[in-house]
Amino acid sequence: MNQTPAQAREFITALAPMVKGKDGCDIVLCVPFVDIWVAAEAAKGTNIHIGAQNVHFEAKGAFTGEISADMLKEVGTEYVIIGHSERRQYFGETDETVNKRVKAALAAGLKVILCVGEMLDARQAGITDELVAMQVKLDLAGVSADDLKNVIIAYEPVWAIGTGLTATPEQADETCGVIRDTVAKLYGSIAAKEIIIQYGGSMNDKNAADLLAKENIDGGLIGGASLKTDAFTAIVSAAQ
Protein backbone atom coordinates (compact mmCIF):
# COMPACT_ATOMS: atom_id res chain seq x y z
CA MET A 1 0.00 0.00 0.00
CA ASN A 2 2.40 2.59 -1.33
CA GLN A 3 2.26 5.58 -3.70
CA THR A 4 -0.61 7.73 -4.89
CA PRO A 5 -1.37 7.88 -8.62
CA ALA A 6 0.77 11.01 -8.97
CA GLN A 7 3.65 9.36 -7.13
CA ALA A 8 3.32 6.22 -9.25
CA ARG A 9 3.56 8.29 -12.44
CA GLU A 10 6.64 10.06 -11.12
CA PHE A 11 8.23 6.76 -10.09
CA ILE A 12 7.70 5.08 -13.46
CA THR A 13 8.90 8.15 -15.33
CA ALA A 14 12.13 8.01 -13.31
CA LEU A 15 12.52 4.22 -13.53
CA ALA A 16 11.84 3.75 -17.25
CA PRO A 17 15.14 5.19 -18.57
CA MET A 18 17.09 3.33 -15.87
CA VAL A 19 15.83 -0.08 -17.04
CA LYS A 20 15.63 0.73 -20.75
CA GLY A 21 17.35 -1.93 -22.83
CA LYS A 22 17.41 -4.42 -19.97
CA ASP A 23 15.49 -7.00 -21.95
CA GLY A 24 17.00 -10.08 -20.35
CA CYS A 25 14.08 -10.30 -17.93
CA ASP A 26 10.46 -9.20 -17.62
CA ILE A 27 9.84 -6.17 -15.44
CA VAL A 28 6.43 -5.91 -13.78
CA LEU A 29 5.20 -3.30 -11.32
CA CYS A 30 2.19 -4.48 -9.30
CA VAL A 31 0.48 -1.35 -8.01
CA PRO A 32 -2.59 -0.49 -5.88
CA PHE A 33 -5.91 -0.47 -7.75
CA VAL A 34 -6.16 3.34 -7.89
CA ASP A 35 -2.71 3.57 -9.53
CA ILE A 36 -3.27 1.06 -12.34
CA TRP A 37 -4.69 3.38 -14.99
CA VAL A 38 -2.01 6.02 -14.44
CA ALA A 39 0.76 3.42 -14.22
CA ALA A 40 -0.34 1.75 -17.46
CA GLU A 41 -0.31 5.10 -19.25
CA ALA A 42 3.10 6.02 -17.83
CA ALA A 43 4.54 2.64 -18.83
CA LYS A 44 3.40 2.81 -22.47
CA GLY A 45 6.34 2.52 -24.86
CA THR A 46 8.63 1.16 -22.15
CA ASN A 47 9.66 -2.39 -21.20
CA ILE A 48 7.71 -2.10 -17.93
CA HIS A 49 4.51 -4.13 -17.51
CA ILE A 50 1.76 -3.36 -15.00
CA GLY A 51 0.08 -5.75 -12.58
CA ALA A 52 -2.45 -5.62 -9.74
CA GLN A 53 -2.02 -6.87 -6.19
CA ASN A 54 -5.24 -8.88 -5.96
CA VAL A 55 -8.44 -9.78 -7.83
CA HIS A 56 -11.87 -11.09 -6.89
CA PHE A 57 -13.06 -14.46 -8.13
CA GLU A 58 -16.50 -13.33 -9.34
CA ALA A 59 -17.08 -11.34 -12.52
CA LYS A 60 -19.57 -8.96 -10.85
CA GLY A 61 -22.12 -8.82 -8.06
CA ALA A 62 -22.69 -7.80 -4.46
CA PHE A 63 -19.04 -7.80 -3.38
CA THR A 64 -18.59 -4.23 -2.16
CA GLY A 65 -15.04 -2.99 -2.43
CA GLU A 66 -13.82 -5.83 -4.66
CA ILE A 67 -12.33 -5.63 -8.18
CA SER A 68 -13.00 -8.16 -10.95
CA ALA A 69 -10.56 -9.51 -13.52
CA ASP A 70 -12.40 -7.78 -16.37
CA MET A 71 -12.15 -4.46 -14.53
CA LEU A 72 -8.39 -4.97 -14.21
CA LYS A 73 -8.01 -5.85 -17.88
CA GLU A 74 -9.85 -2.76 -19.06
CA VAL A 75 -7.56 -0.36 -17.21
CA GLY A 76 -4.36 -1.88 -18.60
CA THR A 77 -3.46 -4.67 -16.19
CA GLU A 78 -1.42 -7.59 -17.57
CA TYR A 79 -0.47 -9.44 -14.38
CA VAL A 80 -2.03 -10.00 -10.97
CA ILE A 81 -0.56 -11.23 -7.69
CA ILE A 82 -2.74 -13.85 -6.02
CA GLY A 83 -2.34 -15.41 -2.58
CA HIS A 84 0.28 -13.00 -1.25
CA SER A 85 1.19 -13.86 2.32
CA GLU A 86 -0.24 -10.56 3.60
CA ARG A 87 -3.59 -11.37 1.93
CA ARG A 88 -3.54 -14.80 3.56
CA GLN A 89 -2.35 -13.53 6.95
CA TYR A 90 -4.41 -10.35 7.38
CA PHE A 91 -7.44 -10.78 5.11
CA GLY A 92 -8.41 -14.42 5.45
CA GLU A 93 -7.34 -15.73 2.03
CA THR A 94 -7.42 -19.52 1.90
CA ASP A 95 -6.13 -21.97 -0.68
CA GLU A 96 -9.75 -22.40 -1.79
CA THR A 97 -10.28 -18.70 -2.50
CA VAL A 98 -6.79 -18.39 -3.99
CA ASN A 99 -7.63 -21.20 -6.42
CA LYS A 100 -10.88 -19.49 -7.42
CA ARG A 101 -9.04 -16.21 -8.01
CA VAL A 102 -6.36 -17.94 -10.08
CA LYS A 103 -8.94 -19.52 -12.37
CA ALA A 104 -10.92 -16.28 -12.72
CA ALA A 105 -7.80 -14.28 -13.59
CA LEU A 106 -6.62 -16.83 -16.16
CA ALA A 107 -10.08 -16.99 -17.74
CA ALA A 108 -9.95 -13.22 -18.23
CA GLY A 109 -6.56 -13.40 -19.92
CA LEU A 110 -4.44 -12.10 -17.04
CA LYS A 111 -1.06 -13.57 -16.12
CA VAL A 112 -0.96 -14.84 -12.55
CA ILE A 113 1.81 -14.47 -9.99
CA LEU A 114 0.82 -17.14 -7.47
CA CYS A 115 2.37 -16.84 -4.02
CA VAL A 116 3.09 -19.76 -1.70
CA GLY A 117 5.19 -20.03 1.43
CA GLU A 118 5.44 -21.17 5.03
CA MET A 119 5.23 -19.52 8.44
CA LEU A 120 8.22 -19.69 10.81
CA ASP A 121 6.68 -22.46 12.92
CA ALA A 122 6.35 -24.66 9.83
CA ARG A 123 9.99 -24.04 8.91
CA GLN A 124 11.10 -24.88 12.45
CA ALA A 125 8.92 -28.03 12.48
CA GLY A 126 10.59 -29.26 9.30
CA ILE A 127 7.39 -29.40 7.24
CA THR A 128 8.20 -26.67 4.70
CA ASP A 129 8.40 -29.06 1.75
CA GLU A 130 5.08 -30.77 2.49
CA LEU A 131 3.28 -27.49 3.19
CA VAL A 132 4.52 -25.68 0.08
CA ALA A 133 3.82 -28.68 -2.16
CA MET A 134 0.29 -28.88 -0.77
CA GLN A 135 -0.28 -25.16 -1.41
CA VAL A 136 0.85 -25.55 -5.02
CA LYS A 137 -1.49 -28.50 -5.56
CA LEU A 138 -4.51 -26.80 -3.97
CA ASP A 139 -3.95 -23.41 -5.58
CA LEU A 140 -3.54 -24.91 -9.08
CA ALA A 141 -6.43 -27.40 -8.80
CA GLY A 142 -8.38 -27.38 -12.06
CA VAL A 143 -5.80 -25.25 -13.89
CA SER A 144 -5.00 -26.76 -17.28
CA ALA A 145 -1.51 -27.32 -18.65
CA ASP A 146 -2.24 -24.68 -21.28
CA ASP A 147 -3.28 -22.12 -18.65
CA LEU A 148 -0.21 -22.95 -16.58
CA LYS A 149 1.86 -21.18 -19.25
CA ASN A 150 0.42 -17.92 -17.87
CA VAL A 151 1.29 -18.72 -14.24
CA ILE A 152 4.39 -17.62 -12.34
CA ILE A 153 4.92 -19.09 -8.87
CA ALA A 154 6.53 -16.96 -6.18
CA TYR A 155 7.99 -18.63 -3.10
CA GLU A 156 7.81 -16.22 -0.19
CA PRO A 157 8.72 -17.59 3.21
CA VAL A 158 6.44 -15.57 5.48
CA TRP A 159 9.09 -15.42 8.19
CA ALA A 160 11.43 -13.59 5.81
CA ILE A 161 9.05 -10.83 4.69
CA GLY A 162 9.47 -7.39 6.22
CA THR A 163 11.58 -8.85 9.03
CA GLY A 164 15.00 -8.27 7.54
CA LEU A 165 15.50 -12.04 7.61
CA THR A 166 16.25 -13.77 4.34
CA ALA A 167 16.39 -17.43 3.49
CA THR A 168 19.90 -18.41 2.48
CA PRO A 169 20.34 -18.91 -1.26
CA GLU A 170 20.54 -22.63 -0.55
CA GLN A 171 17.29 -22.67 1.46
CA ALA A 172 15.47 -20.62 -1.18
CA ASP A 173 16.75 -22.79 -4.02
CA GLU A 174 15.80 -25.98 -2.20
CA THR A 175 12.20 -24.90 -1.68
CA CYS A 176 11.90 -23.49 -5.20
CA GLY A 177 13.12 -26.92 -6.30
CA VAL A 178 10.29 -28.54 -4.32
CA ILE A 179 7.85 -26.27 -6.17
CA ARG A 180 9.36 -27.26 -9.52
CA ASP A 181 9.18 -30.96 -8.61
CA THR A 182 5.53 -30.54 -7.62
CA VAL A 183 4.75 -28.89 -10.95
CA ALA A 184 6.54 -31.76 -12.70
CA LYS A 185 4.34 -34.30 -10.92
CA LEU A 186 1.21 -32.35 -11.85
CA TYR A 187 2.02 -31.25 -15.39
CA GLY A 188 5.17 -33.03 -16.54
CA SER A 189 8.87 -32.24 -16.79
CA ILE A 190 8.63 -29.79 -19.70
CA ALA A 191 6.09 -27.61 -17.86
CA ALA A 192 8.26 -27.73 -14.74
CA LYS A 193 11.30 -26.63 -16.70
CA GLU A 194 9.48 -23.77 -18.41
CA ILE A 195 7.59 -22.31 -15.44
CA ILE A 196 9.08 -19.19 -13.85
CA ILE A 197 9.65 -19.54 -10.10
CA GLN A 198 10.44 -16.40 -8.14
CA TYR A 199 11.85 -15.88 -4.67
CA GLY A 200 10.03 -13.26 -2.60
CA GLY A 201 11.56 -13.10 0.87
CA SER A 202 13.28 -9.72 1.28
CA MET A 203 15.25 -9.92 -1.98
CA ASN A 204 17.19 -6.68 -2.42
CA ASP A 205 20.07 -5.17 -4.37
CA LYS A 206 22.61 -6.68 -1.96
CA ASN A 207 21.50 -10.33 -2.10
CA ALA A 208 19.77 -10.56 -5.50
CA ALA A 209 22.78 -11.78 -7.47
CA ASP A 210 23.46 -14.68 -5.08
CA LEU A 211 19.81 -15.72 -4.98
CA LEU A 212 19.25 -15.42 -8.74
CA ALA A 213 22.36 -17.47 -9.47
CA LYS A 214 20.62 -20.53 -8.05
CA GLU A 215 19.27 -23.14 -10.45
CA ASN A 216 15.63 -23.04 -9.37
CA ILE A 217 15.27 -19.27 -8.81
CA ASP A 218 14.20 -17.54 -12.01
CA GLY A 219 13.27 -14.13 -10.64
CA GLY A 220 12.23 -12.09 -7.65
CA LEU A 221 9.01 -10.81 -6.12
CA ILE A 222 10.43 -7.59 -4.72
CA GLY A 223 9.00 -5.76 -1.72
CA GLY A 224 10.65 -2.74 -0.10
CA ALA A 225 13.52 -2.58 -2.59
CA SER A 226 11.01 -2.00 -5.41
CA LEU A 227 10.25 1.46 -3.99
CA LYS A 228 13.81 2.66 -4.64
CA THR A 229 14.70 3.14 -8.31
CA ASP A 230 18.43 2.54 -7.79
CA ALA A 231 17.94 -0.66 -5.77
CA PHE A 232 15.29 -2.00 -8.13
CA THR A 233 17.43 -1.30 -11.18
CA ALA A 234 20.32 -3.17 -9.56
CA ILE A 235 18.06 -6.19 -9.05
CA VAL A 236 16.97 -6.05 -12.70
CA SER A 237 20.64 -5.97 -13.72
CA ALA A 238 21.35 -8.99 -11.52
CA ALA A 239 18.42 -10.83 -13.12
CA GLN A 240 19.80 -10.14 -16.58
The active-site residue out of 86, 93, 118, 156 is 156
Could you confirm whether 56 is annotated as catalytic?
A: no
Burial (Cβ within 10 Å: 0-12, 13-18, ≥19) of residue 26: middle
> How many angstroms separate the CA atoms of 69 and 129, rounded?
31
Give the DSSP H/E element, type plus range, for residue 30.
Answer: strand 27-31
Burial (Cβ within 10 Å: 0-12, 13-18, ≥19) of residue 24: exposed
> How many angstroms separate the CA atoms of 9 and 27, rounded?
16
The active-site residue out of 56, 84, 86, 118 is 84
Could you confirm whether 49 is annotated as catalytic?
A: no
**Helix, strand, coil shares, percent, the chain, to 5:** 50, 15, 35
| Main-chain phi, psi angles of 199, to 5 degrees | -110, 135
> How many angstroms separate the CA atoms of 141 and 125, rounded?
26
* Catalytic sites, residue numbers: 84, 156
